[in-house]
Amino acid sequence: MSAVPQERSLVTAIPGPKSVELQARRVAAVAAGVGSTLPVFTARAGGGIIEDVDGNRLIDFGSGIAVTSVGASAEAVVRRATAQLADFTHTCFMVTPYEGYVEVCERLAELTPGDHAKKSALFNSGAEAVENAVKIARAYTKRTAVVVFDHGYHGRTNLTMALTAKNMPYKQSFGPFAPEVYRVPVAYGYRWPTGPENAGAEASAQAIDEITKQIGADNVAAIIIEPVLGEGGFIEPARGFLPAIAQFAKDNGIVFVADEIQSGFCRTGQWFACEDEGIVPDLITTAKGIAGGLPLSAVTGRAEIMDAAHAGGLGGTYGGNPVACAGALGSIETMRELDLNAKAKRIEEVMKGRLAEMQSKLPNGDIIGDIRGRGAMIAIELVRSGTKDPDPAAAAGLARACHAEGLLVLTCGTYGNVLRFLPPLVIGEDLLNEGLDIIEQAFATV
């Protein structure tokens, strides 16, 4: 694991004086549109700890938004990426190729669901992977419409802004958006009017009805969904929803795309979250956890679909950069060696147990309206006591209290009222429990 001592330690206020100084420089030099959850400047990070420039050590329940599942300085990632850096930094795969790119595509074919022939193309960011999945699906189907879901998040580029549900902060003042994007309901169990037990069947019927009546199934190139919706609030579509939508896609020649950028690579206790209901997507987009912190993304899918785009139609200068590919091979090696799926499942067991206890025992525990998620992708949805009214102030207050105590947590959700936990899968169980202690104590402040 990492050289960073695996213990929380606060030696200054959070943020400390050196971070405050850097933040002043940052405000003067960095565009205001780029935010930060916590203006604590990082010196080093690894395992379950982020050490800041003032020497504080924070427990990491964020993993840089579900990226550093193997830790932020995993031995195999550092070793392989360092060796690659010394050999060559770049040639451009479109100019002269290299083995690492091919090897990552081979690993993706092995690890993603389904035993059909698969191919991949590599890119830099999640948004770029989603954009390319749309290009590929359109080239294959010769159709144009793309269907996405309420609470969905797919990125910040023009097309992926159109695919993303939430206006603020992602879309406000940035339009006009790409055409031929249609949004339909998702089975959000906690907020489904007739209850979670009906959500899967009713929401899928409603979504399919809207696609059929408003768009026409044979105009649809792709249906894109996150098997666990991330930025939208860690929403697990109620059981039955994903299989019904996947079957509808299959029956109508629509490319079914699972956006596993946040949920993939052991995060939910399986290599991919769509495995939970036995879904085999036609295309799958991955990024984040794939490369241990180096920028890499991929579209993987049925060979005949992936090959539909003409030669030269897909690419980009840096797509599948050799150092990022080396990082990915190190990350995948670590996931296999440490059985990080099992670790994620254990994190779920510990977290859900402790959170349920908080919900039932704390004086204000009923502001936890819902505890959900899988593996190390766990969240609590905060509501006003005795209601289901979203309480974003409670989520923000809890996050602030955790930050002050040296626990990095993130919020999310369409209503901004979800506190989410995405620890590195390699976090020690002592740190995990210490983080949960801090969350428990934070409830006294809201």
Q: By CB under 6 A, name the one of 118, 154, 191, 343 that touches ligand PLZ.
A: 154
Instruction: Let me know: does 300 contact 280? Beta carbons within 8 Å.
Output: no
Shorter beta-carbon distance to ligand PLZ: residue 123 or 443: 123
Could you give the angle at which helices 340-361 and 322-337 cross, rounded to 10 degrees?
Answer: 70
Q: 228: which DSSP letter?
A: S
Is the distance from CB of 351 to CB of 421 less than 8 angstroms? Answer: yes
- Residue 189 Cβ vs ligand PLZ, minimum distance, rounded to whole Å: 19
Buried b (16+ CB within 10 A) or exposed e, 279-306: bbbbbbbbbbbbbbbbbbbbbbbbeebb
Give the Cα separation of 75 and 77 in Å (integer): 6
Only one of the segments 98-106, 151-159, 382-390, 393-401 lies at the binding site for ligand PLZ (rule: CB under 6 A); that segment is: 151-159
Residue whose CB is less far from ligand PLZ, 226 or 391: 226
Q: How many residues bind ligand PLZ (CB under 6 A)?
A: 16
Nearer to ligand PLZ, 60 or 226 (CB): 226
Query: Given the complex with ligand PLZ, which of 47 and 233 has the nearer CB atom?
Result: 233
Q: CB of residue 395 vs ligand PLZ: minimum separation in angstroms?
A: 16
In the range 220-259, which residues lie near ligand PLZ by CB under 6 A? 226, 230-231, 259
Nearest residue to 54 (alpha-carbon basis) of 67, 36, 37, 39: 39
Q: Is 372 in the site for ligand PLZ (CB under 6 A)?
A: no
Measured at CB, which residue is nearest to ligand PLZ? 126
Please check whether residue 44 is in contact with residue 77, taking contact to mean a CB–CB distance below 8 angstroms.
Answer: no
Q: Check residue 262 for interaction with ligand PLZ (CB under 6 A).
A: yes
Amino acid sitting at position 31: A
Amino acid at 118: K
For position 62 contacting ligand PLZ by CB under 6 A, the verdict is no
Beta strands 57-60; 407-408: pairing state: parallel
Residue from 22, 43, 65, 280 binding ligand PLZ (CB under 6 A)? 65
Of 155-174, binders to ligand PLZ (CB under 6 A) are 155-156
Take residue 97 and report the two structure tokens written for it. Answer: 């190729």
Q: Which is nearer to ligand PLZ, 100 or 264 (CB)?
A: 264
Of 91-99, 147-155, 362-370, 383-391, the window that binds ligand PLZ (rule: CB under 6 A) is 147-155
* Alpha-carbon dihedral sign for residues 19, 24, 29, 34: positive
Residues 6+ apart with CB under 8 A from 342: 269
Distance from C-alpha of 215 to C-alpha of 147, rounded to nearest angstrom: 9
Span of 36-44, 87-95, 148-156, 320-328 interacting with ligand PLZ by CB under 6 A: 148-156
Distance CA 226, CA 120 (A): 19
Interacting residues of 381 by C-beta distance below 8 A, sequence separation 6+: 190, 233, 368, 369, 370, 372, 390, 413, 417, 418
Asked if 326 touches ligand PLZ (CB under 6 A), the answer is: no
Closer to ligand PLZ at the Cβ: 358 or 418?
418
Kindly state the tokens that stand for 172: 């406000």
C-beta closer to ligand PLZ: residue 151 or 354: 151
Q: Which is nearer to ligand PLZ, 58 or 159 (CB)?
A: 159
- Tell me the per-residue interface mask from 110 to 129 with ligand PLZ, x by CB under 6 A, - otherwise: ---------------xxx--
Q: 340 φ, ψ to 5°?
A: -70, -15
With binding defined as CB under 6 A, does residue 153 bind ligand PLZ?
yes
Neighbours of 338 (CB within 10 A): 18
Q: How far is the CB of 284 from ligand PLZ (least distance, A)?
A: 11
Please report how close the Cβ of residue 433 comes to ligand PLZ at its closest, in angstroms.
27
Q: Which is nearer to ligand PLZ, 147 or 431 (CB)?
A: 147
- Reduce the DSSP state of residue 27 to 3 states and report it: helix
Give dist(CA 46, CA 63) in Å, integer: 10
Supply the minimum distance, in Å, between the C-beta of residue 407 and ligand PLZ: 20
Return the number of the residue (118 or 154) whose C-beta is nearest ligand PLZ.
Answer: 154
User: Using CB under 6 A, which of the segments 83-91, 153-161, 202-210, 304-312 binds ligand PLZ?
Assistant: 153-161
> Where on the chain is the footprint of ligand PLZ (CB under 6 A)?
65, 125-127, 130, 153-156, 226, 230-231, 259, 261-262, 287
